[in-house]
Amino acid sequence: MAWHKQVMFWLTMLGLFIAAAWLLSSVLLPFVAGLALSYFLNPVTTRLEKWGINRLAASLVTIAMTLLLAIMLALLVVPIFGSQLAAFIQRLPDYIVRLQNMLTGDGDQAAWLREFVGDRMPSIQQGLNELVSQGASYILTLIQGLWTGGQALISVFSLLVITPVVAFYILNDWNHMVEKVDSWLPLHNRDVIRGLASQMDRAIAGFVRGQSLVCLILGSYYAIGLTMSGLNFGFVIGFASGIITFIPYVGSLTGLVLAGGVAIVQFFPDYTMIAVVIGIFVFGQFIEGYILSPKLVGDSVGLHPVWLMFALLAFGYLLGFLGLLLAVPLAAAAGVIVRFAISRYLESPLYTGEDEEEAQAHAGGPPRPGGPGSRPLAPASARRMQAP
């Protein structure tokens, strides 16, 4: 009964948390952003504290350096990114029309396709027209979604004063907050909850901190590589592709489609330059898969790409930009809890079909009555007669 009460209690608390987050989603954004920033910067502050700097001063230095770095990055990147993004959105319809004509038109540019398919050209042209139209609709929807997300991101920057203040106070009181929460844990299950919390921390820290570095490195590589190749809007396509790499496979595929389409329109029939643009993304995927992700993220995160994409879409749909901030931590926490529940289920009588005494005997406990090494039981009638 106590076990059922605990399950009902934690499910109720989870439901209340989700309801409060949904009702206060427009208010919680700066506080959740401040909490995420303080969690991200806590290792740096702890390292400064170990060097002999007071926790208050270490927190202040960490927040100040982070703001200075963010301002410098914004001054360097935002003007170039903003101008190229505006020009890319303005010229995107023209690129789509030119790409469609190259694939399905009657001019010399589509001669290679007519020679390859022969009499099947009309049906293939119709299919390609529908494919290009659907692709154009998808790209426009994606850009509209990015613009909506950008407006939400601008609202974060409009709260630039609130978020650092919240992060500073949480960062300064981090150790006291952890100790206070730890003192609230149930005494009987404290060790188990601490173990689960430690696994959640490793999963969240390994993915968020590691994947953020991977996104920055890939974004810089794609932006520099595509710009040096001479691709139009190479900086905005490359940088955006690297940042979207936070969502598995989506960033690289989106960048490859956009860069490949622009390269075909710009460089055709120069296949060498088209291959160079595609090769930049292939090499980037090789670096991410075999160098960056194993070194910076590791294999112990436990977040399956499908589960992560579902969490991002679901929480983003329910809570907007706040949901995107909460998706990865909650997905990592849910993964740890589900794995723990499965391990307990595999050890329980529900899975093994044994009762508690048989499970203890198989685990090395005292022999169960009637088992090997125990005296045979007397008949039930004799046992009733021997009872006082």
What CA–CA distance (Å, rounded) separates 129 from 377?
83
Other CB atoms within a 10 A radius of the CB of residue 311 amount to: 22
What percentage of the chain reaches a pLDDT higher than 70?
71
The domains of the chain are located at: 28-184, 198-301, 305-364
Query: Which one is predicted more confidently, 103 or 371?
Result: 103
pLDDT at 362 > cutoff 60: no
For 179-228, the pLDDT digits (tens) are 888 888 878 778 888 888 888 888 787 777 777 888 888 888 998 998 89
Average pLDDT over the chain, rounded to an integer: 74
For 19-46, the pLDDT digits (tens) are 887 787 777 777 888 888 888 888 889 8
CB half-sphere exposure, 80, CA atoms < 13 A: 17
What CA–CA distance (Å, rounded) separates 30 from 373?
66
pTM exceeds 0.85 = no
What CA–CA distance (Å, rounded) separates 1 from 19?
27
Residue found by looking up tokens 């208050």 in the block = 56
For 153-181, the pLDDT digits (tens) are 555 555 677 888 888 898 888 888 888 88
pLDDT in the model for residue 159? 65
pLDDT at 382 > cutoff 50: no
Query: Which one is predicted more confidently, 91 or 180?
Result: 180
Give the 3-state secondary structure of residue 282.
helix
Residue from 290, 268, 36 nearest 166 by CA = 36
* Helix H or strand E encompassing 13: helix 2-23
Average pLDDT over residues 242-260: 79
Per the CB < 8 A criterion, the answer to whether 222 and 254 are in contact is: no
Give the 3-state secondary structure of residue 66.
helix
CB half-sphere exposure, 14, CA atoms < 13 A: 10
Phi, psi of 162, rounded to the nearest 5 degrees: -75, -45
Per the CB < 8 A criterion, the answer to whether 324 and 308 are in contact is: no
DSSP 185-203: S-STTHHHHHHHHHHHHHH
What's the 3-state SS for 300-315?
Answer: CCCCCHHHHHHHHHHH
User: In the chain, what is the greatest distance between 2 CA atoms, to the nearest angstrom?
Assistant: 106
Query: Which one is predicted more confidently, 89 or 279?
Result: 279
- Is the Cα dihedral 157, 163, 165, 167 positive or negative? negative
Per the CB < 8 A criterion, the answer to whether 222 and 237 are in contact is: yes
Give the 3-state secondary structure of residue 10.
helix
pLDDT in the model for residue 40? 84
Supply 108's token pair: 């010399």
Instruction: Spell out the residues 6+ positions from residue 317 whose beta carbon is closer than 8 angstroms to its own.
Output: 323
pLDDT at 245 > cutoff 70: yes
Residue from 197, 237, 245, 192 nearest 217 by CA = 245
C-alpha angle with apex 305: 227 to 30, nearest 5 degrees? 75
- By CB atoms closer than 10 A (0-12, 13-18, 19+), residue 108 is exposed
pLDDT in the model for residue 368? 46
Residue from 209, 153, 226 nearest 332 by CA = 209
Per the CB < 8 A criterion, the answer to whether 41 and 66 are in contact is: yes
